[in-house]
A = this chain, B = another copy of it.
């Protein structure tokens, strides 16, 4: 893939000019919305009645960085939370070029044909465009975009991983409250985004390509371990043989890991998003996963663990921010690092000194 495409996601491609026009329009709409005083009670009720315009407005509010909306957002979330949670949250990742958009189109349409309502969210913490979301190129999801049973929301961007996670977690809750029972969360295979998406989903799906040295490239360490299923995509036409041997390879690699705490053994499947092949098998697998983990309690345990994870993450991120952004600490930290380099102090001694200074300035 060319470098300039690295930042595109299945839902947003900043190189696309149609997308930029949409972005501009959407930015204006967001600005207008921000000036308005929002009737939260009305908005919540509409959202709970599956009104998609209300859902969009609500997510825009959640994504707004404005302090002026803080109380509104709180109220909104409070109204929606009791109706949230009844969904299967599926994380989907894979390097650019693996065919995520086409896969999501095919997979989403299959889910809808089974009577489900599907929301698609995207996470791209590498995006640094501030203020609102990107409305992107959805041409590879033509049918899904038009379906009345789908809701597609492009990239939640933000300057901090913590900010992105909060927005995404809250958007998930809003989608669930609006009646979506399957949430697909797409992320591009770079940076820390997989860990983030993994820690807010029930099932984690890794898309791979067969052959072409792909096994050696672009898999971030640890991603295979997070996967509940690896799907070799584009397993069609001349690719079939290569895909089959990749499946063998990954099955072998997965055996090197001990079983997960929920007793689920990750599976490797073949699929073609383009030809709609193997898509039904993937959903059957996920249904089996949900049944199994719900019967052994690990589904709910995992959600409770995730909530606790985000609570502590959020606390600890704040504690650290407070410490490292402290002006006196910044200066002292540089000095201590220099002393470590010069073998005049140890890391532990340096830490003690910095903590003493920090406590002193807080009194």
Contacts and interface: CB of A to CB of B under 8 A. Distances in A.
Nearest to A348: B166
A219 interface: yes
Contacts of A351: 310-311, 314-315, 318
Contacts of A82: 343
Interface string A301-325: 0001001111100111011100100
A81 B258 contact: no
Contacts of A323: 315, 319
A311 B350 contact: yes
Contact of A362 (B341, B348, B362): B362
B318 A320 contact: no
Given A256-B215, A311-B337, A169 B347 contact: yes
Nearest to A85: B343
Contact of A256 (B219, B311, B352): B219
Contacts of A78: 344-345
A263 to B, nearest CB: 14
A341 B252 CA distance: 39
Contacts of A240: none
B355 A315 contact: yes
A58 to B, nearest CB: 14
Nearest to A225: B221
A310 B348 contact: yes
A219 B347 contact: no
Contact of A311 (B307, B318, B340): B340
Contacts of A129: none
A47 to B, nearest CB: 16
B320 A319 contact: yes
Contacts of A319: 316, 319-320, 323, 355
Nearest to A344: B81
